[in-house]
Amino acid sequence: MQKYIVIADDLTGSNATCSLFKKIGLRAASILKLQGDINYDVDVISYSTASRGLDKEEAYKKVSEAIKILKNKDVLVYNKRIDSTLRGNIGTEINAMLDNLEDDRIAVVIPSYPDSGRIVVNKTMLVNGVLLENSDAGKDPKTPIKTSCVESLIQKGIKYSSTYFTLSDIEQPIEEIVKKIQEAIKKSRVLIFDAVNNEDIIKISKAIINSDINIVTVDPGPFTLYYSKELQKKNHLEKKILMVIGSVTATTKKQIEYILQEEDIFLVKMKVEDFFEKETCLKEIERVISYIKKGIASYDLFLVTTSPIGDEKKADLQKLAENLNTTVEEISKIIANTLTETVVKILKETEKFEGVYSSGGDITIALLEKLKAIGVEIREEVIPLAAYGRLIGGDFPNLKLVSKGGMVGDEKTIKLCLHKIKNDI
């Protein structure tokens, strides 16, 4: 079930908001036709009502119909995506959102889009330094804008009372902004904010989170992005990466030592000597899972490995094979199976990871088998012999994966692979 719902008034805006959500690791789809019985298998559904140029009654009807179909109890964020130059039926469409959601929902309107030159100063929108009414949007032949006053444009057609927060309000400490928000919602269901840069929007997002209110984000995208990101932090929903490395090559050893210096990583070393008896193996797996859970709220990168680090000696597979009266190949298989069984349990019990990095062919094959994946959709080559893609089918469809051979790359290779997983949009 989708946890992020966007209702846009045109397709371009719908697509643009999806692109922003992708930047924080969420899978987003912009759809053209509403069908309530379809499982889209994404985190974000963005739907365009194509209502910007319609009359108010028809715009209200389209937004109402859309939200009735898409709303559900699991949604974290509802967004009424508006034009960055405030064209369209903004007030009417805010009415439709609030009328069809819970009575305690508050519309939080932040029209600024600093990265696109749209800022709001003391209720006045500037577009690349020009008053909104004198910009190209102001002269739009279909929906011209005749004022630069944000408050007037938002309130036009809206039936709910509003409170405006100027730059002087936003410059106050967050706790003071929270107090004003809590006072404002006693009489207003619409809060409108100035903002001149992304830092202002981030600060407002934090204040809204700290106010502990149910909201509808109303904006051209940035506020919804930063608010969703802050919400992820609050609810520990940040997307994380799990690395599983079983290779014992000198190349892998250098790569691990380098990445441990470069990134803040939650490291878990597994005890290979415990892998070969059922009881000790199960205890070791549970120890690692329990340990990972303790660090899940504080870290984004996790490494589970049997590879030697620093002065540690690598496991003597030949000696293990002789002691257990088996082959080196069978010992390697047990190690790979135990490592990947641990990883699969971590993925299932935490539900926090967006991607996996695996080093070693045996590890990757065993992992795919245990996840019941039918294959990997290869997106691109990170470096020669290191491929990035997403799982097809199985228990974790669309899970990001970088797989690499144990002797592939230089010391910076793991960092490159992690960067690919984190920044795929």
The predicted-structure confidence for 295-309, as pLDDT tens digits, reads as follows 987 888 999 998 878
Compute the Cα dihedral for 95, 98, 104, 108 and give only its sign: negative
Sheet with 124-127: strands ordered across: 118-121, 124-127, 130-131
Q: pLDDT per residue over 73-123, tens digit each?
A: 889 999 999 999 999 999 999 999 999 999 999 999 999 999 999 999 999
Question: In this structure, how many other beta carbons lie within 10 angstroms of the beta carbon of residue 124?
Answer: 16
Are residue 155 and residue 211 in the same domain, yes or no? yes
Sheet with 4-8: strands ordered across: 28-31, 44-48, 4-8, 77-81, 215-219, 106-109, 190-193, 162-165
Are residue 227 and residue 253 in the same domain, yes or no? no
Are residue 296 and residue 347 in the same domain, yes or no? yes
Are residue 224 and residue 92 in the same domain, yes or no? yes
pTM: 0.65
Structural domain count of the chain: 2
Q: Which of 235, 270, 292 is the last residue of a domain?
A: 235
| For residues 394-414, average pLDDT | 86
Are residue 198 and residue 275 in the same domain, yes or no? no
CATH code where residue 370 lies: 3.40.980.20
Q: Is the pLDDT of residue 176 over 90?
A: yes
Q: Which of 220, 235, 250 is the last residue of a domain?
A: 235
Contact residues for 253 (Cβ-Cβ < 8 A; gap 6+)? 307, 308, 309
CATH code where residue 121 lies: 3.40.50.10840
Are residue 226 and residue 245 in the same domain, yes or no? no
pLDDT score at 425: 43
CA angle 399-400-402, nearest 5°? 135
Contact residues for 377 (Cβ-Cβ < 8 A; gap 6+)? 389, 390, 391, 392
Are residue 249 and residue 229 in the same domain, yes or no? no
Contact residues for 246 (Cβ-Cβ < 8 A; gap 6+)? 305, 306, 307, 335, 336, 339, 359, 360, 362, 363, 406
Q: Which of 235, 265, 286 is the last residue of a domain?
A: 235
Are residue 250 and residue 200 in the same domain, yes or no? no
Residue 38: band (very low, low, confident or very high) from pLDDT cuts 50, 70, 90: low
Between CA 47 and CA 54 the distance in angstroms is 16
Are residue 211 and residue 252 in the same domain, yes or no? no
Q: Is the pLDDT of residue 314 over 90?
A: no
Q: Are 297 and 352 in contact (CB under 8 A)?
A: no
Q: Is the pLDDT of residue 354 over 50?
A: yes
- Domain extent, residue 312, equals 240-423
Are residue 230 and residue 288 in the same domain, yes or no? no
Are residue 144 and residue 213 in the same domain, yes or no? yes
Q: Are 334 and 274 in contact (CB under 8 A)?
A: no
Residue 165: in which H helix or E strand, if any?
Answer: strand 162-165
Are residue 81 and residue 226 in the same domain, yes or no? yes
